[in-house]
Amino acid sequence: MDKIKLIQAILGADCDSPQTQASKGSSFLTKGKVYAVRTVTMIYTGRLIDINDQEFLFDEVAWIPETERWADFAKTGAHKEAEPYPGKVVIGRGGLLDAFEIESVIRKQK
C-alpha cells in the first residue's frame, strides 16, 4: 500500500470518491446574492458572481476598513468607512473567515 493510500485509510478518506468530486467548487454561498465577507485581513461587501475550487468572484465590491459595532454592521450595514472597488474582486477561499448575506451592496465612498 503506498503512503497516500495508507494515510487515506487511516483518516477514512477516499479522495477519489464521488462525494469528494461532487463537492469541489460547491459552496454554501449562492451566486447572485450580496454578502459581507470577513477575510483574514479585511472586510468586503459585494455580489457573488462565480465560485471555483480556489476562489470566489465578487462584483460591486467595497472594502470596509471600519464598521460600527459588529452586531450593528451585521444587522443594518452600519459602517464608518467604505472604499468601493472599480471592478470585480477575487477572494481566495482559504482566506475566508465568515460570510453572511446582506440586503444591498455598499457603493458610496465614506
- Walk me through the domains of the chain, giving residue ranges and CATH numbers: 27-101 (2.30.30.100)
Q: Which of 24-28, 89-93, 94-98, 99-103 has the lowest mean pLDDT?
A: 24-28
pLDDT at residue 12 above 70? no
pLDDT tens figures, 41-78: 899 999 999 999 999 999 999 999 999 999 999 999 99
For the whole model, what pTM was predicted? 0.76
C-alpha cell at 103: 440586503
Average pLDDT score, the chain: 87
Q: How far apart are CA 88 and CA 106, in angstroms?
A: 14
Q: Is 81 helix (H, G, I), strand (E, B) or coil?
A: strand
Q: How far apart are CA 62 and CA 87, in angstroms?
A: 10
Supply the pLDDT for residue 20: 44
Q: Is 81 in contact with 110 (CB distance < 8 Å)?
A: yes
C-alpha cell at 77: 450595514
